[in-house]
Structure 1
């Protein structure tokens, strides 16, 4: 399994993302994480039909403020028959301060009718490796 977390998505904390305490609203951050994890699952399972099944304890460590640039890291930790388990870390892009961790996010692979279906994957793959070199 992958040993290092990849941080592909960056977000800029804007005024509309703030809570009454003038820090990033947790619900907005969870929305961004769920979207990033879904995209990661879609790419890994090579199927646009995936759903969030489970998110474990969410550990908020620090509160980003307006103007901060954050980055979201997702890493696969296990492949089940129909599922993909990942973990997540969010950190400040500029100073690397940890903002949030989630130990377990589980997504399920679905068929076109919305039923769980085996995905046949057992390891992380990269899009660049799925196509012949040009």
Structure 2
């Protein structure tokens, strides 16, 4: 699992207990997961269909730097399933895990559309693929 997105826990992110507010963390996760799905499926129109049980394992405090790790675990005909882990950047202690997040690829008509993807792709692979297409013209 790759951890690319980092967030600094600031006063406005805290709950009355002085720890990271779960709603703020879930907003960050949903946004990052949507971006991941968009990049993997090559379509900027995706929607969150399902977020499974959210397991808060520990908390984060003001000043902590956290990082979000997301990876694809399955590709459906119109969907992509992701797994998420959030951990403290310094200690690597897990803060939260989500085993299943499902995003659906949306077509021009606003309905689920097949995406044709079957495995994770990486930026350098997509660039090489695009360069190959340019060379074919």
Q: TM-score, normalization: structure 1?
A: 0.94
Q: Give the alignment of 1:106-125 within 5 angstroms.
A: 106-125=102-121
1:56 alignment partner in structure 2: 52
| 1:102 correspondence with 2:98 | yes
| 1:130 correspondence with 2:135 | no
CA deviation vs aligned residue, 1:8-38 (integer Å, no higher than 9, x gap): 1000000000000000000000000000100
Q: CA deviation at 1:127?
A: 1.9
Q: Does the residue aligned with 1:106 lie in a helix, a strand or coil?
A: strand
In 1: Cα distance, 2:119 partner to 2:47 partner:
19
In 2: Cα distance, 1:82 partner to 1:20 partner:
40
RMSD: 0.9
1:77 alignment partner in structure 2: 73
| 1:12 correspondence with 2:8 | yes
Q: Does the residue aligned with 2:100 lie in a helix, a strand or coil?
A: strand
**Would you tell me which structure has more helix in proportion to its own residues?**
2
CA deviation vs aligned residue, 1:82-106 (integer Å, no higher than 9, x gap): 0000000000000000000000000
Structure 2 stretches lacking a partner, 5+ long: 132-137
Aligned residues: 129
1:89 alignment partner in structure 2: 85
Runs of 4+ in structure 1 over 2 Å off: none
